[in-house]
């Protein structure tokens, strides 16, 4: 491939104790935790709103805070849910601690809590590069309307979901899975008879909430017309408004960390949405009067890059809830692996709420970088549970608290006293006992 060299001077527009890249579930909570821990914090987000997959991908519900009715992911993540519920933007479904929510109210509460915590927000800013020397990141480079800008930081948290910062810094990544989980473009329908949708409330543990009746109809339709795209679920979720649902049923295999594949997938799936929306209207009575309100601003991404950290959490340990001396967060969602090119799904329920060791959040060769959310160091099985939003918030809280500790003690991320970190997280409300 032909290449060009372009040298440019980039202004350093800010200097912070901690720079969080990505404002999804992990990044929001990481930035609040770091700021409350005493660090000066900036958060960089490519869109003009927070929430990541929850808002830009219209991915709902927020799964899950509880195991057997006991809340295990707690602290700032749960405070966020309570703040959302206070303005009518969240509804808890027990015993799972599954949260149906309003994406618009989510954006508002996220930005309020970050501003209240004193976090400096850089919206519409794309993380494009970083400056590294001797295993330390000194700056991230962001691109926005003002051009390229550099933010200096003592510590960095990669919460981009795709490990964009870690990848640009040169952190080793997990080997690419043979089959990445598929991408799905979620769409919002109005005019739906929501009272007649049995799977709209996710209130029982050990149940897969796809709608088997609709699935059967679509399987038959596909038998007769193979041009109907492969679908998943379907799952639907309330946005707490009568007649309005988010539908999760499109699916396409793609490497969503490749811009070419992402672009192509986005275009194909927008066609798929139109097809599915019209088929739902035609064949499913509850959708007879439905109309398309919106497709998500971006296609939902289940799986891309994950770092190879100081420790890689394996599915076997995860499912069996093996506890670690440095456990800093939990996961309670089943291992949820969607087949890339069929309607299939592997769903394995956990023996107990799983544990996440701190060592999954950093690479041994990078001294001031933590990773939170979907891209932490886990194998495809453990990751297939840890990728859900409450678990991402949990690792965000751990990374934020750790970054603040590092700032306070001027220490490297791999030198953190994990007993002290665990005490801080327990004082926030995290449940780290079996």
Residues making contact with ligand FAD (CB under 6 A): 21-27, 44-47, 52-54, 56-57, 59, 61-63, 126-127, 159-162, 164, 184, 248, 300-302, 373-374, 387-389, 392
Closer to ligand FAD by Cβ: residue 163 or 416: 163
Q: Where are the beta strands (DSSP E) in 177-264?
A: 187-190, 231-238, 245-250
DSSP state of 252: B
DSSP state of 412: -
Closest approach, Cβ 289 to ligand FAD, in A, equals 25
Closer to ligand FAD by Cβ: residue 113 or 392: 392
Closest approach, Cβ 61 to ligand FAD, in A, equals 6
Closest approach, Cβ 221 to ligand FAD, in A, equals 21
Distances (CA, A) of 405 to 19, 221, 398, 414, 419: 14, 57, 11, 12, 12
Closer to ligand FAD by Cβ: residue 25 or 380: 25
Contacts of 176 by beta carbon, 8 Å cutoff, 6+ apart? none
Which is it for strands 231-238 and 245-250: parallel, antiparallel or unpaired?
antiparallel
Helix (H) or strand (E) holding 169: helix 164-169
Closer to ligand FAD by Cβ: residue 389 or 397: 389
- Residue number closest to ligand FAD, CB atom: 24
Closer to ligand FAD by Cβ: residue 43 or 292: 43
| Separation of alpha carbons 132 and 130, rounded Å | 6
Contact yes or no for 6/148 (Cβ under 8 A): no
| Separation of alpha carbons 72 and 50, rounded Å | 24
Closest approach, Cβ 122 to ligand FAD, in A, equals 9
| Separation of alpha carbons 353 and 81, rounded Å | 20
Closer to ligand FAD by Cβ: residue 102 or 389: 389
Closest C-alpha to 131, from 373, 419, 414, 369: 369
Closest approach, Cβ 21 to ligand FAD, in A, equals 6
Closest approach, Cβ 1 to ligand FAD, in A, equals 22
Closer to ligand FAD by Cβ: residue 63 or 329: 63
What ranges in 370-428 are assigned the alpha helix state H? 380-386, 389-409, 418-428
- What does 173-188 look like in DSSP terms, one character per residue? BPPPPSSPPPBB--EE
Closer to ligand FAD by Cβ: residue 63 or 397: 63
Closest approach, Cβ 193 to ligand FAD, in A, equals 22
Closest approach, Cβ 407 to ligand FAD, in A, equals 22
Helix (H) or strand (E) holding 16: strand 12-21
Closest approach, Cβ 267 to ligand FAD, in A, equals 17
| Separation of alpha carbons 273 and 295, rounded Å | 8
Closer to ligand FAD by Cβ: residue 185 or 406: 185
Beta bridge partners of 238: 245
């Amino acid at each position: 491939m032909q290449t060009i060299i372009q040298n440019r001077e980039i202004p350093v527009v800010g200097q912070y104790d901690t720079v969080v890249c990505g404002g999804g579930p992990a990044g929001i909570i990481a930035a609040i935790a770091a700021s409350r821990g005493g660090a000066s914090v900036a958060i960089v987000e490519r869109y003009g709103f927070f929430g990541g997959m929850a808002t830009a991908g219209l991915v709902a519900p927020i799964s899950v805070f509880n195991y057997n009715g006991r809340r295990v992911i707690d602290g700032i993540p749960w405070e966020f849910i309570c703040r959302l519920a206070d303005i009518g933007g969240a509804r808890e479904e027990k015993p799972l601690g599954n949260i149906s929510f309003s994406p618009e109210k989510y954006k508002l509460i996220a930005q309020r809590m970050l501003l209240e915590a004193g976090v400096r927000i850089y919206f519409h800013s794309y993380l494009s590069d970083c400056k590294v020397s001797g295993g330390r990141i000194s700056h991230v480079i962001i691109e926005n309307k003002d051009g390229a800008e550099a933010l200096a930081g003592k510590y960095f948290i990669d919460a981009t979901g795709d490990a964009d910062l870690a990848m640009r810094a040169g952190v080793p990544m997990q080997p690419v899975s043979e089959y990445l989980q598929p991408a799905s473009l979620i769409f919002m329908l109005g005019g739906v008879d929501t009272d007649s949708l049995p799977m709209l409330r996710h209130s029982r543990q050990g149940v897969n909430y796809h709608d088997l009746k609709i699935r059967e109809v679509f399987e038959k339709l596909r038998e007769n017309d193979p041009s109907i795209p492969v679908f998943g679920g379907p799952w639907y979720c309330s946005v707490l408004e009568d007649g309005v649902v988010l539908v999760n049923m499109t699916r396409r295999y793609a490497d969503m960390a490749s811009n070419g594949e992402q672009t192509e997938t986005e275009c194909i799936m927008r066609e798929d949405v139109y097809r599915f929306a019209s088929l739902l209207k035609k064949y499913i009575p509850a959708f007879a009067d439905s109309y398309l309100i919106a497709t998500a601003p971006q296609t939902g991404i289940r799986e891309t890059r994950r770092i190879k950290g100081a420790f890689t959490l394996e599915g076997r340990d995860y499912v069996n809830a093996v506890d670690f001396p440095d456990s800093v967060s939990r996961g309670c969602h089943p291992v949820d692996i969607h087949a890339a090119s069929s309607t299939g799904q592997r769903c394995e329920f956990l023996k107990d709420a799983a544990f996440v060791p701190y060592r999954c959040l950093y690479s041994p060769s990078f001294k001031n970088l933590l990773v939170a959310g979907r891209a932490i160091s886990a194998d495809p099985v453990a990751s297939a549970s840890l990728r859900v939003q409450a678990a991402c918030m949990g690792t965000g809280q751990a990374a934020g608290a750790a970054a603040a500790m590092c700032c306070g003690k001027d220490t490297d991320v791999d030198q953190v006293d994990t007993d002290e970190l665990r005490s801080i997280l327990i004082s926030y409300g995290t449940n780290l006992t079996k």
